[in-house]
Amino acid sequence: MEPMLCLVGKFFTASSPPSIEKTETSLRQRWDPSGDMTVSPIEDDIILFNFELEVDMKSVLRHTWHVDGVILVLKQWPSHLSLSDIDFSVSWFSVKVEGLPLCRYTDEESRRIGEILSDKPLGKVYLNSSKRDFYVRAEIDLKKPLNPGFFLDDDSFVQFKYKNLGSFCKSCGMIDHGSCGEIPKERPLTREVKTRVYGPWMNVAFSRVDFAVEFPEKISEREDDEETVPYEQFFIKLKVEVVYANEHKWGDKKLDRSLPVTDQEYRFRFPCSFLATALESDDQSQALMTLAREIDENVPLIGLKFNDKIEIVKRFVEYSKENKKSWSDRRWVPLRICANKTIWLTSVDFQTKLQEREDEEFHRTIEAKIAEMIRRRVENNENVLSVPLWKTSIQDLMSEIGVKETEIPFDLDKRAKGARSEAIRHGVRFFSGPIPAEETSVCRLERVKILGEDMDELEPCTICQEGMFLGEEATRMPCSHLFHRSCIEEWLQRGNQCPNCRFQLPSRAERIPHRDAISKKYQSLKRRNL
């Protein structure tokens, strides 16, 4: 076995580590290697892992692992090092950052957070703002207490959650022992309530889920003429409700809070033959998964995981068995299902969700302000295509809702430009002043190469007032005037006239539509979430 396919591991704990047998059984099941793997003890409490395939070894190194909650530090074993030279007191962790304002979801912020977490160089940074996920991978010093997070200037707390953390002391934050018996440290949770600094919420996977499927209505009378239905089918109305909940006690105070996540109703048809197949199948679990995939492909069921969908199908099958007489001889079977999911969070996690909701409301307020600004300019026939004017308007909007310029979301200017582009694509001309040239007309302009014989006769470009260079590519307008290519293309983005003779190219909007037509188009744009 080559040295590069070897990993050495050591449990970071002050107590007795798990046995070699339990370690191998637990890790082999979770790693599920494609090739062969051998596990054997070597010096002291160090374990050697030999892999047949490099892909298996790299897959293991991408994550942190623990057995019975005890962190196992894994390292590659370079051939030029002895075991005493390997540092088992540091380990890579993927750390989820929660409570950070969306406007700070940037690479620069991830580097800054990486420096808070570790003195070691950063590894891979993973950002997914659409799912509100912000992960930083850093090498953590296990000899120090875990870093719970940091406070922002507005006293809100940004929380660190560690993936595959395992057990650690809830009093002092050290991970090499279960509990030290010290008085737990506290920090403010809200202005009136405090919470512990360290707790189970520091693990990414921590949450408790209650899931229930109900059938509040019996199979009702037919809603459509069964004679028109081509084959036997269920007509299912599925209502999904997802709620975050929290029960928190601190002294004589008790907080019971809930935060709705989603409340949607879906309607879809489901062939009775699929159910019949599931009922007759020898492998019920496989049949249930097939039905769940069928639903998953047709209905997104926002807020529910695949296991939740399997549970819905399982209850649906059980309910249908009990009521088979009422639907087996019918072609059209209406049915209503309610799926209720309550996700119980710790106080810290719940407070983070509240902050995220406030951030979402903040962004919706900004979008509403932008839409209102577009509406006003449509009615006043004002210029909304000027980038400097947009920038000034955005700053004015921020002042209206009490936001400092330094707090303006980084993507707001980009978002505003997108709104203008959307309006142009729909042919809405709600501005006065220069009209941008049509893009296809600009692309068709003649490109010429400046040759030596032309140098004496060419005038400088009247846009930038600089001369033409030998071998440079220029653009000739239909009126024969010649300009630097970049100069004239930028000019035609602001107007459709030649800067020398005012010859006009076709414009993006040839006429100003009637005010009623403008209003209708604006409403259409608004529905598209401008």
Give the pLDDT of residue 1: 39
Strand, coil or helix: what is 73? strand
Read off the pLDDT of residues 294-335 as tens digits, 9 standing for 90 and up.
777 767 777 787 778 888 888 888 888 888 887 777 888 888
Whole-number Å distance between alpha carbons of 118 and 104: 20
Q: Which of 245, 450, 414, 218 minimizes the C-alpha distance to 319?
A: 218
In this structure, are residues 102 and 358 in contact, taking their beta carbons and an 8 Å threshold?
no
Whole-number Å distance between alpha carbons of 15 and 18: 10
Which residues of the chain have a pLDDT value below 70? 1-4, 44, 120-132, 190-192, 217-228, 249-253, 278-279, 281-284, 298, 367, 370-371, 374-395, 397-435, 452-457, 508-530
Give the pLDDT of residue 68: 85
In this structure, are residues 142 and 12 in contact, taking their beta carbons and an 8 Å threshold?
yes
Rg (CA), the chain: 32
Per DSSP, helices labelled H in 124-226 are: none
Report how far apart the first and last C-alpha atoms of the chain are (Å, whole number). Answer: 60
Strand, coil or helix: what is 528? coil
Burial of 362 (0-12, 13-18, 19+ CB in 10 A): middle
Query: Hey, what are 306's tokens?
Result: 């695949």
In this structure, are residues 499 and 462 in contact, taking their beta carbons and an 8 Å threshold?
yes
Domains belonging to the chain, first-starting first, are: 3-85 (3.30.70.330), 90-202 (3.30.70), 209-344 (no CATH), 439-492 (3.30.40.10)
Read off the pLDDT of residues 441-456 as tens digits, 9 standing for 90 and up.
888 888 888 776 566 5
In this structure, are residues 160 and 202 in contact, taking their beta carbons and an 8 Å threshold?
yes
